[in-house]
Amino acid sequence: MSAEAHDHDHGHDHEHEHHHKDTFITKYIFSIDHKMIAKQYLITGIVMGVIGIAMSLLFRMQLAWPEESFKIFNVLLGDKFAPDGVMANDIYLALVTIHGTIMVFFVLTAGLSGTFSNLLIPLQIGARDMASGFMNMISYWLFFISAVVMLCSLFVEAGPASAGWTIYPPLSALPQAIPGSGTGMTLWLVSMAIFIASSLMGSLNYIVTVINLRTKGMSMTRLPLTIWTFFVTAIIGVISFPVLLSAALLLIFDRSFGTSFFLSDIYIAGEVLHYQGGSPVLFEHLFWFLGHPEVYIVILPAMGLVSEIMATNSRKPIFGYRAMIMSVLAIAFLSTIVWGHHMFISGMNPFLGSVFTFTTLLIAIPSAVKAFSWITTLWKGNLQFNPAMLFSIGMVSTFITGGLTGIILGDSTLDINVHDTYFVIAHFHLVMGISALYGMFAGIYHWFPKMYGRMLNKNLGYIHFWVTAVCAYGVFFPMHFIGLAGLPRRYYTNTNFPLFDDLQNVNVLITTFALVGGAFQLVFLYNFFSSIFYGKKAVQNPWRSTTLEWTTPVEHIHGNWPGEIPHVYRWPYDYSNPNHDVDFVPQNVPMKEGEEVLHH
Amino acid sequence: MTSLLVIIVLVLLAVALWQLTKIFDLTQVGASSDDSQVASDNDNNIQGYILFGFLAFIYIFTIYGLLKWGNLALHTPASEHGLLVDNLMNITWVLIFTVQVITQGLLYWFSFKYKGNKDKKALFFADSNKLEAIWSIIPSVVLACLILYGLYAWNNIMFVDKDEDVIEIELYAQQFKWTARYAGADNTLGKANVRLIEGVNTLGVDMSDKNSQDDIVVSELHIPKGKKVHFKMRSQDVLHSAYFPHFRAQMNCVPGMVTEFAFVPTYTTAEYRELPFMVEKVAHINKLRAEKSVDLVAKGGTALDPYTFDYLLLCNKICGASHYNMQMKVVVDTPEDYKKWLSEKTTLAQDIKAAAAAEKPAAEGAAPTTDTAAKVIDTVKAVVDTVKAAVAKVAMK
């Protein structure tokens, strides 16, 4: 890996270019400044998150009280989909589909990676901006357009896509199988194609910037772990998203041009369709070839953010920096060869099931290494419990809980009985819906001063964390039990099975926790938006952190540093270094005479 | 009106919260305005205690969950391989719980013990090859053992020996019901394809195939205890999944493909009903149903039927609007009862013939289109013939 960057002269030129004044449009709308683009990703992600959570509260209400009528259903879903306040069965499926799509892609991928990769990569590696500010801007606006298209799909006459966020054909290919597979599904595919283009552009930018634009002294092994995870995440994205795009394109062909990639021997609505020779299992392979790396694209940046925040708030180095890098690389590599664990009972050859069980249980090892490293980082630290730190600890806690149930799901024999039950829902919500989301919240609380020059209110932060933590457990922990009872997912109601009557009380409890937890996110929203305008003004380095972003001025300037870009002389984790009196030494402070390096 | 009150309450609650935080901020005497939103030693102290309290919450909630909802899990498996599955599951649970208790304990205990203040200094502890080795090797060894046992079980369950003595049954999935086809005396299912669907032959069985002649189509699945049943699954339209939770069996039904799963039932329906855990479960469910019925009747509806346990086949892959109501009753009989039940069924070939015959007479009103109606007509014809013969006999006297 090249250890030096060549930005020395380029930096001066860049500075002179931006002495012109920004208009409102070039500053806030079509900005090529990575810091503004990061905030654009964040706001869009938050808006989509609110919509996604609102949808989940609607269908949770349906599950808890299936025979009740609710005025709000009629208000939000209209007379066609909720006549007399009773939710219709196909719109239930549409809600779970769009909820999943929005949360996984728009909130936890674009909202998480897009925000923090854009904000932190140039700042933490010591670059003026991304390699291509223009392409960066395009990647945001494509994301915005894909979000608009996805939201438009909610308003088509036959309803939005309803085949689950996994959109398996033939259900997603045939409008006669479910109404949402008409125009709603077409718009979903268009939205996702644009989203993938956006994601690829962003990823390419991140990769090129990290490789080429590091400042003098910033070798790869002096990069903060945030950068490592963003970098590796971008690589996984570039490898796997195009495969989803190919699956989407082939599906568009099957839907609109009569091909048979995924369809064969179908009799529906009283007639035999012409399709011959295709296989839905092919779609599953193509989808999950992205789908599995996708969940690591979601969690790895969250892990990077948490590593950084924990080191800063423990006043200690992150434990095992090199092992953390190697485990990120191992997770990235393994994540591309485990996708079949979503398909154990898809009808594929059971031999494949054996292979995927093996690789899936392997991926538990680097994940365990990371969890143990975070715990060891806390040991004998001087822990500062800012809200960001609480969310980071929460992230580690729920990642362990959720990850452990992954060992059951990854074992093909055990998956036979829990596949597509609430057990799976409990697992992936713990690791994505809570763990990764906590990482995102932690990042927002920690880097809000950098983004907006102001501080978030810490007491509101504490309230937000604790209510969310209790409610999140209350929602997803009981789901394991109803999953083990054999309750399938994506069921509009369970009242057709007296066998499941004794699970209904659990469903009511889950929904109650969900409603309270969902409502308390308003505390965060209030804190976030009011602090942008009225928050306490931040100092340059409020958390006393060692990384380079805290050496830039509080007021944003294009090019990040007013003068020369700092040079880097040490790794990012010199907290409580015995060779120094202060409990942190920024990366741009030169080594003392004869100072030894105290880490691997 | 209620919604207005609710909104007012929420707004007042929000205002109260805002006021509380403002008051709390004012109490931060001595804090410089720059650091007021950074955690102080006091914050660290309080949060440290709350974090430890949260550990108690996690442990207590877990134990509460196990006690209150532990009995909701599926309990005794009703198949041979189910014992293998449950054994592996239990071993995995023990491992998982051990790791969970230890790691959560350490995480929150360290959080509490090392809550920070200005006078403390953290320990610069950046690496330890020894620790890395310990916590890489131990999980690897444990996981390797789990993998080996898991793969042994998987191979046992998923690969059906060609020489094994099995009963072949087809499960046919469609929006939104299940149908089963028995292979009959030759134990071979006749070829089928959706392109051959016509009239009574709703499964598209190829009647020109000699193996199809003894195939029997039913809408309630009966299987014999102690014999291996080999299911061949087909789907008519979209993906479905044949999920038999009590038997620890699940396999997707894919249009254009035949998938398979085999198991040996080990409890007849009658026997499974008598198992103590099931007696309790059914009693509990009926109690809930009785309570609900009181409400329903009060509102002018009908009471719910009491519940008796039956094995079930459910659809477990999203398949459309009525995915939540796609089920088939499964009955495990003794081998004798199974033989008797099967012998009373007509074959598909007979049903097709009967339907064709019933369509021939141009009677007033519509020709019968169901096989049941056709059977009724056959029976009536037989009775008429018998009566005619008897009358003739009497007349001869």
Read off the pLDDT band of A336 (50, 70, 90): very high
Q: Report pTM.
A: 0.90
Q: What is the pLDDT of residue A276?
A: 95
Q: Do B386 and B268 lie in a common domain?
A: no
Tokens 């209790």: give the residue: A470
Tally of domains in chain B: 3
Say if A167 falls within a structural domain: yes
Q: What is the pLDDT of residue B163?
A: 78
Q: Do B206 and B318 lie in a common domain?
A: yes
Q: Do B233 and B334 lie in a common domain?
A: yes
And the tokens for A38? 């990061």
User: A245 or B375: whose pLDDT is higher?
Assistant: A245
Question: How far is the alpha carbon of A142 from chain B, nearest alpha carbon, in Å?
Answer: 31
**Residues A384, B116 contacting (CB under 8 angstroms):** yes
Q: Do A376 and B131 touch (CB under 8 A)?
A: yes
Read off the pLDDT band of A11 (50, 70, 90): very low
**What residues make up the domain containing B73?**
40-116
**Residues B195, A265 contacting (CB under 8 angstroms):** yes
Say if A29 falls within a structural domain: no
Say if B200 falls within a structural domain: yes
Q: Do B95 and B208 lie in a common domain?
A: no
Say if A590 falls within a structural domain: no
Q: Do B57 and B195 lie in a common domain?
A: no
The CATH number that applies at residue B233 is 2.60.40.420
Assembly ipTM: 0.93
Nearest CA in chain B to A504: B288
Long-range contacts at A500-507 (CB < 8 A, ≥ 24 apart): A501/B285, A501/B288, A501/B289, A501/B307, A502/B72, A502/B281, A502/B284, A502/B285, A502/B288, A503/B72, A504/A64, A504/B288, A506/A478, A506/A481, A506/A482, A506/B69, A506/B72, A507/A63, A507/A64, A507/A482
Q: Do A375 and B62 touch (CB under 8 A)?
A: no
Q: Do B179 and B313 lie in a common domain?
A: yes
What distance in Å separates the CA atoms of residue A548 and residue A146, rounded to the nearest whole number?
A: 33
Residue A358 scores a pLDDT above 80: yes
* CA A600 centroid distance within chain: 31
Q: Do B315 and B254 lie in a common domain?
A: yes
Q: Do B332 and B370 lie in a common domain?
A: no
What confidence tens digit (pLDDT) does each residue in A307-329 have? 999 999 999 999 999 999 999 99
What distance in Å separates the CA atoms of residue A412 and residue B377, rounded to the nearest whole number?
A: 52
What confidence tens digit (pLDDT) does each residue in A279-302 have? 999 999 999 999 999 999 999 999
Q: What is the pLDDT of residue A24?
A: 85
Say if A583 falls within a structural domain: no
Q: Do B225 and B323 lie in a common domain?
A: yes
- Phi and psi at A512, nearest 5°, equal -60, -50
The CATH number that applies at residue A482 is 1.20.210.10
Identify from B9, B119, B143, B240 which residue to disrupt to test chain A contact, counting A C-beta atoms within 10 A and taking the largest count: B143
Q: What is the pLDDT of residue B362?
A: 54
Tally of domains in chain A: 1
Residue A89: partners with Cβ closer than 8 Å, 6 or more residues away: A492, A493, B321, B322, B324
The mean of the pLDDT values for chain B is 89
Nearest CA in chain B to A406: B96
Q: Do B252 and B387 lie in a common domain?
A: no
The mean of the pLDDT values for chain A is 94
Q: Do B96 and A404 touch (CB under 8 A)?
A: yes
Q: Do B64 and B90 lie in a common domain?
A: yes
- Mapping DSSP to helix (H, G, I), strand (E, B) and coil, where does residue B111 land? helix
Which sign, positive or negative, has the C-alpha torsion B194, B196, B202, B205? negative
Task: Please indicate if any CB of chain B lies within 8 Å of the CB of A523.
Answer: yes
What confidence tens digit (pLDDT) does each residue in B232-265 have? 999 999 999 999 999 999 999 999 999 999 999 9
Q: What is the pLDDT of residue B162?
A: 79
Residue B377 scores a pLDDT above 70: no
Q: What residues of B are in contact with residue A265 (Cβ under 8 Å)?
A: 193-195, 255-256
Say if A327 falls within a structural domain: yes
- DSSP character string of B258-291: -EEEEE-B-S-HHHHHHSHHHHHHHHHHHHHHHH
Read off the pLDDT band of B1 (50, 70, 90): confident
Whether residue B176 has a cis bond before it, omega within 30° of 0: yes
Say if B268 falls within a structural domain: yes
Q: What is the pLDDT of residue B307?
A: 94
What confidence tens digit (pLDDT) does each residue in A382-430 have? 999 999 999 999 999 999 999 999 999 999 999 999 999 999 999 999 9
Say if B352 falls within a structural domain: no
**What residues make up the domain containing A117?**
8-15+38-265+275-551
Say if A417 falls within a structural domain: yes
The type of residue at A532 is: I
Nearest CA in chain B to A472: B58
To 5 degrees, how large is the angle CA A539–CA A543–CA A547? 100
Residue A144: partners with Cβ closer than 8 Å, 6 or more residues away: A40, A44
What distance in Å separates the CA atoms of residue B321 and residue B117, rounded to the nearest whole number?
A: 58
The CB density around residue A84, as the number of other CB atoms within 10 Å, is 10
Window 455-474 of A, Cβ < 8 Å to B: 455-460, 462-463, 466, 469-470, 473-474
And the tokens for B312? 């079930």
What confidence tens digit (pLDDT) does each residue in A43-102 have? 999 999 999 999 999 999 999 999 888 988 998 998 889 988 999 998 999 999 999 999
Identify from B3, B237, B288 which residue to disrupt to test chain A contact, counting A C-beta atoms within 10 A and taking the largest count: B237
Q: Do B257 and A322 touch (CB under 8 A)?
A: no
**Averaged pLDDT, A534-551:** 95
Q: Do B103 and B243 lie in a common domain?
A: no
Question: How far is the alpha carbon of B256 from chain A, nearest alpha carbon, in Å?
Answer: 5
What confidence tens digit (pLDDT) does each residue in B303-349 have? 889 999 999 999 999 999 999 999 999 999 999 999 999 999 999 99
Q: Do A382 and B114 touch (CB under 8 A)?
A: yes
Strand pairing category for A271-272 and B216-218 = unpaired
What distance in Å separates the CA atoms of residue A377 and residue A371, rounded to the nearest whole number?
A: 10
Residue A350 scores a pLDDT above 90: yes
Say if B9 falls within a structural domain: no
Identify from A162, A262, A265 which residue to disrupt to test chain B contact, counting B C-beta atoms within 10 A and taking the largest count: A265
Residue A161 scores a pLDDT above 80: yes
**Residues A371, B103 contacting (CB under 8 angstroms):** yes
Nearest CA in chain B to A167: B318
